[in-house]
């Protein structure tokens, strides 16, 4: 059974967890995870004779994978229902929609679906706690929250959202140049690397003005607190594939966008 910690006192190691409209008291001796318990953490409860025996934290990666699977299922169901409605009530519109999807191709649509789910839900960047505590994970779209905390730009939400919807451009603009929009996912995925590298370089240069070794130590410590998530690698792989498709379609466009030879 799953629940959420609604109270925890670090001084005496006692807390309260809510699950199935009930509340269970627990203490640190019942905790079965490496990291310390915290308020709002989602946990798995083990009961015996209707009393709490132990509880453990469910990692953010597991929760994000479950949300991604749920979202993919909902999108598939909604899309199927919408397409069925179009077929029944508006054959011309359904034909146009199917024609547009056919023009993009199943590989491009599939890659965009994986990129969208990864950018929205899966961890792109992980910030480790400097003293071994629980860190935080940020999706590609969620890096804008990290920017506010650090006071410097790290990615942002506008470019990833633009990259997610970029696949629609070739459907409305029948030009070979429109296929270059498929390069936007790669740009959105790579930009945070540049932002983080630039921020670390700036901090290092400022510290090196006083002590070169201190600047190197600060850079090393900053790098140690950063970690990559599965969302980064999925975004990068799908973005590279989409960029390859976009360049190919730009050089060898479909018949309906080819420029006539005079």
> Which sequence spans correspond to the domains of the chain?
2-58, 62-251
pLDDT on residue 21: 87
Residues forming a β-bridge with 54: 46
Look up residue 222 and give its two tokens. Answer: 């900053």
pLDDT on residue 34: 83
Task: Look at the pTM and tell me if it is higher than 0.85.
Answer: no
Task: Give the CATH number of domain 2-58.
Answer: 2.40.50.140
pLDDT on residue 20: 87
Those residues with Cβ within 8 angstroms of residue 19's Cβ, 6 or more apart along the chain or in another chain: 1, 2, 3, 4, 45
Q: What is the phi-psi region of residue 77: left when phi exceeds 0, alpha when psi lies from -120 to 50, beta otherwise?
A: alpha
pLDDT on residue 6: 92
pLDDT tens for the chain, 262 residues long, are 899 999 999 889 999 999 988 899 999 999 998 888 888 888 999 998 888 999 998 877 677 667 666 655 555 554 455 445 444 544 444 444 455 556 678 888 888 889 999 888 888 888 776 555 556 788 888 776 555 445 555 666 688 888 888 888 887 787 888 889 999 999 999 888 777 777 767 666 666 666 666 656 666 666 667 778 888 899 999 999 999 999 988 888 766 554 444 4
> What CA–CA distance (Å, rounded) separates 87 from 93?
8
> What CA–CA distance (Å, rounded) separates 160 from 138?
13
Length of the chain, please?
262
pLDDT on residue 140: 85
Cβ atoms of residues 154 and 143 within 8 Å: yes
- In the chain, the N- to C-terminal Cα span, in Å, equals 70
Buried b (16+ CB within 10 A) or exposed e, 130-162: eeeeeeebbbbbbbbebbeeeeebbbbbebbbe
pLDDT on residue 45: 93
Helix (H), strand (E) at residue 219: helix 212-224
> What CA–CA distance (Å, rounded) separates 155 from 76?
29
Pick from 99, 211, 195, 122: nearest CA to 152: 195
Those residues with Cβ within 8 angstroms of residue 142's Cβ, 6 or more apart along the chain or in another chain: 124, 157
Query: What angle in degrees, to the nearest 10, is found between the helix axes of 106-121 and 60-89?
Result: 140
> What CA–CA distance (Å, rounded) separates 191 from 124?
12
């Amino acid at each position: 059974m799953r629940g959420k910690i609604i109270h925890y006192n670090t001084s005496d190691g006692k807390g309260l967890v809510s699950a199935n409209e009930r509340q269970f008291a627990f203490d640190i001796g019942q905790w079965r995870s490496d990291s310390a318990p915290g308020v709002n953490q989602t946990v798995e409860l083990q009961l015996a004779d209707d009393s709490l025996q132990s509880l453990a934290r469910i990692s953010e990666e597991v929760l994000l994978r479950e949300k991604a699977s749920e979202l993919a299922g909902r999108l598939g169901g909604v899309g199927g229902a919408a397409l069925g409605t179009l077929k029944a009530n508006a054959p011309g519109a359904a034909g146009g929609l199917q024609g547009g999807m056919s023009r993009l191709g199943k590989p491009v649509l599939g890659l965009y679906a994986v990129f969208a789910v990864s950018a929205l839900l899966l961890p792109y960047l992980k910030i480790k706690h400097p003293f071994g505590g629980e860190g935080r994970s940020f999706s590609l779209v969620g890096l804008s929250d990290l920017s506010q905390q650090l006071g410097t730009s790290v990615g942002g939400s506008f470019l990833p959202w633009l990259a997610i919807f970029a696949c629609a451009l070739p459907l409305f603009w029948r030009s070979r140049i429109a296929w270059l929009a498929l390069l936007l996912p790669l740009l959105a995925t790579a930009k945070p690397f540049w932002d983080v590298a630039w921020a670390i370089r700036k901090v290092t240069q400022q510290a090196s003005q006083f002590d070169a070794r201190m600047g190197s130590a600060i850079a090393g410590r900053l790098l140690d607190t950063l970690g990559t998530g599965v969302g980064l690698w999925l975004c990068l792989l799908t973005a590279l594939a989409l960029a390859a498709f976009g360049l190919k379609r730009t050089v060898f466009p479909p018949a309906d966008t080819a420029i006539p030879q005079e």
